[in-house]
Chain A
Amino acid sequence: GAGVSQSPSNKVTEKGKDVELRCDPISGHTALYWYRQSLGQGLEFLIYFQGNSAPDKSGLPSDRFSAERTGGSVSTLTIQRTQQEDSAVYLCASSDGGFFVGGYTFGSGTRLTVV
């Protein structure tokens, strides 16, 4: 697609429920990144995909968080047994992963609220 698409844009869930966040990167972008941003804070790195593999998943905060990418395209970030501290905006970005001059293109984010 023309840009990075994230869905849903907003998600309100009850504590303890599982949620899935979706990211559809720019067509042809081989690298995909997930970040979390709490209100008024900077970017917290979660995980990075090159193709379908994740060379760096060091930022996942706990084993309740997992992510996958299929077909070198769409990625899903899953949070199990959500907690209130999981409330944040989850940002996805993609890049061409190769010569990488252009940097990242970000999606509009998913605002997750755990009540």
Chain B
Amino acid sequence: ELKVEQNPLFLSMQEGKNYTIYCNYSTTSDRLYWYRQDPGKSLESLFVLLSNGAVKQEGRLMASLDTKARLSTLHITAAVHDLSATYFCAVNLRMDSNYQLIWGAGTKLIIKP
């Protein structure tokens, strides 16, 4: 059974600081996704990581994937208030010819001015 663990589950930080959210998963997978959810809104895709060593960056967010360690990180550089949201990672599970994403519990990020 594929399990996905995120930590921390809650993070409160000051603007301008750097921090990292971790996503561990229990069995081999070839793809990992990061999503963002603003309060009262739906989820929107941030990054798709398709291979070992993959790194994607968008503004102050950078995601990386280490498939050997079964670990992805989402790094926030010089945080700003607008990045306050809940961040989910999800790992691809293939069953026969079908695919599902298995989700982490989410990390609620609050960035204080």
Contact = CB atoms under 8 A, between A and B. Distances in A.
Contacts of B43: 91, 93, 104, 106
B54 to A, nearest CB: 12
Contacts of B42: 91, 106-109
Interface in B1-58: 31, 33, 41-45, 48, 50
For the complex of A and B, 4 pairs with smallest distance between CB atoms: A100-B99, A42-B105, A106-B42, A103-B33
Given A43-B88, A55-B95, A109-B42, A103 B106 contact: no
A95 B43 CA distance: 14
Contacts of A34: none
A49 B59 CA distance: 35
Interface string A95-113: 1010011111111110000
Interface residues of B, number: 23
5 contacts: A42-B106, A55-B95, A56-B100, A100-B92, A101-B48
B67 to A, nearest CB: 16
Interface of B: 31, 33, 41-45, 48, 50, 88, 90, 92, 95-96, 98-101, 103-106, 108
A66 B42 CA distance: 23
A55 B88 contact: no
The listed residue with most B CB atoms (<10 A of its CB), out of A33, A91, A93, A106, is: A106
